[in-house]
Chains A and B, each alone.
Chain A
Amino acid sequence: QSVLTQQPSVSGAPGQRVTISCSGSTSNIGAGYDVNWYQQFPGTAPKLLIYGNNIRPSGVPDRFSGSKSGTSASLAITGLQSEDEADYYCQSYDSSLSGSLFGGGTKLTV
Chain B
Amino acid sequence: QVQLVQSGVEVKKPGASVKVSCKTSGYTFTNYGISWMRQAPGQGLEWMGWISVSSGSTSYAQHLRDRLTLTADTSTTTAYMELRRLRSDDTAVYYCARANGAFDPWGQGTLVTVSS
Q: Which residues of A contact B (CB under 8 A)?
A: 34, 36, 38, 40, 45-48, 51-52, 57, 89, 91, 97-105
Contacts and interface: CB of A to CB of B under 8 A. Distances in A.
B109 A45 contact: yes
A85 to B, nearest CB: 17
B101 A34 contact: yes
Interface residues on B, range: 20 to 34
Contacts of A45: 95, 106-109
Interface of B: 35, 37, 44-47, 49-50, 59-62, 95, 101-109
A51 B49 contact: no
Given A46-B95, A46-B103, A91-B45, 16 more contacts: A34-B102, A36-B103, A45-B108, A47-B106, A48-B105, A51-B102, A52-B101, A99-B49, A99-B50, A99-B61, A102-B37, A102-B44, A102-B45, A102-B46, A105-B44, A105-B45
A48 B104 contact: yes
Question: Interface majority SS on A: helix, strand, loop or mixed?
Answer: strand
B59 A98 contact: yes
17 contacts: A34-B101, A34-B102, A45-B106, A45-B107, A47-B105, A48-B103, A48-B104, A51-B101, A52-B101, A57-B104, A91-B45, A91-B47, A91-B102, A97-B61, A99-B50, A99-B62, A102-B45
A45 B36 CA distance: 12
Given A51-B102, A52-B101, A100 B47 contact: yes
Contacts of B62: 97, 99
Nearest to A89: B45
Contacts of B101: 34, 36, 51-52
A38 B103 contact: yes
